[in-house]
């Protein structure tokens, strides 16, 4: 990517991040990480999520585009959260998803991209990789823990209490593991890049 083009893209990305911060649309937990990365001249963060649990309604199997969020949580959840959110469900499958963090980093230097990748993997984000190899490099920081489970249909849950409790326990475990990795990544980024 031509240098000027890259820095224009970085400027644009930083502005939209600033806007997201002002609108309270950013995940607090990963802001220190985003700040460290955006302070590296040849890098900027494009999109990111600190990890979350979501309740989705998917009208037809496989049709993720038509999916609707019934609930979204960036923290520990309780059984009542799921029950309350599922009251909004109408038609289709209800899925619970526990998602680990994802951070995308645009980078203008293959050596820095490689060092970021190694730092991410060493912090526990073992599924990280480079998504593009010419013109613009994208470092994708991500992990493997996840839960993707259908738990109801047409407005009602078909999990019993014990099953639901277990799914919530696992979602919370994934959230806590994500938080730990995020803090490790921050420590390692400070060591390698600040």
Comparing CA positions, the residue from 61, 62, 50, 17 lying closest to residue 141 is: 50
DSSP letters spanning 131-151: ---SSSEEEEEE---EEEEEE
Is 79 an interacting residue with respect to its own copies (CB under 8 A)?
A: no
- Of 10-18, 32-40, 73-81, 109-117, which segment contacts its own copies by CB under 8 A? 109-117
H/E element, 17: helix 3-22
Of 124, 140, 168, 189, which lies in the binding site for its own copies, with binding defined by CB under 8 A? Answer: 140
How long is the chain?
194
Structure tokens at 187: 């420590």
- Of 20-28, 33-41, 45-53, 149-157, which segment contacts its own copies by CB under 8 A? 149-157
Is 42 an interacting residue with respect to its own copies (CB under 8 A)?
A: no
- For the chain, the maximum distance between any two Cα atoms, rounded to a whole number of angstroms, is 57
* Distance in Å, CB of 15 to its own copies, minimum: 27
Is 122 an interacting residue with respect to its own copies (CB under 8 A)?
A: no
Is 113 an interacting residue with respect to its own copies (CB under 8 A)?
A: yes
SS3 152: strand
Is 169 an interacting residue with respect to its own copies (CB under 8 A)?
A: yes
26 DSSP 8-state letter: S
Contact residues for its own copies, defined by CB under 8 A: 61-62, 93, 110-111, 113-114, 117, 129-134, 140, 145-150, 153, 158-160, 162-163, 166-167, 169-170, 173, 177
């Amino acid at each position: 990517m031509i240098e000027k083009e890259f820095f224009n893209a970085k400027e644009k990305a930083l502005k939209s991040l600033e806007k997201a911060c002002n609108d309270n649309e950013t995940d607090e937990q990963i802001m220190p990480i985003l700040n460290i990365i955006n302070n590296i001249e040849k890098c900027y963060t494009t999109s990111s999520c600190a990890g979350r649990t979501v309740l989705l309604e998917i009208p037809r199997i496989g049709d993720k585009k038509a999916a609707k969020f019934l609930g979204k949580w960036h923290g520990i959840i309780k059984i009542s959260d799921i029950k309350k959110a599922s009251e909004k469900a109408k038609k289709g499958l209800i899925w619970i998803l526990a998602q680990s963090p994802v951070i995308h980093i645009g980078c203008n230097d293959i050596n820095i991209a490689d060092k970021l990748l190694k730092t991410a993997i060493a912090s526990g984000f073992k599924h990280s990789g480079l998504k593009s190899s010419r013109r613009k490099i994208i470092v994708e920081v991500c992990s493997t823990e996840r839960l993707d489970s259908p738990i109801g249909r047409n407005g009602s849950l078909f999990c019993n209490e014990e099953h639901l409790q277990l799914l919530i326990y696992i979602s919370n475990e994934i959230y806590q593991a994500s938080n730990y990795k995020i803090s490790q990544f921050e420590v390692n980024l400070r060591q390698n890049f600040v």
